[in-house]
Amino acid sequence: MDVALTLLVFLGLGALIDSWLGIFPVFTIALVLFAAVGTFIRMKFVYDATMERHEAALLAGRQASVATERVEDAA
């Protein structure tokens, strides 16, 4: 929904600017492409940050598991 709304807003802005200047497809296409690329980059950064958190949690869980096994083996 977020992506669709962003593209729709930039599409509308581009159409308004183009109708005001009288050069229809130029700003419409440019702003939609700008919004699409920006949205993709944002999604990539959010995905990378989420995966780093998950990997850190997984690594912490493994380290805790190994530490627990060592304590149990020592006893």
pLDDT in tens, 10-42: 999 999 999 999 998 999 999 999 999 999 999
Model pTM score: 0.74
User: Is 28 in contact with 8 (CB distance < 8 Å)?
Assistant: no
Give, to the nearest 10 degrees, the angle between helix 24-74 and helix 2-21: 160
The pLDDT of 54-69, averaged and rounded, is 78
**Confidence class of residue 59 from pLDDT cuts 50, 70 and 90?**
confident
User: Is 32 in contact with 10 (CB distance < 8 Å)?
Assistant: yes
Q: What is the pLDDT of residue 71?
A: 59
Cβ neighbour number for residue 31 with a 10 Å cutoff = 21
Cβ neighbour number for residue 6 with a 10 Å cutoff = 16
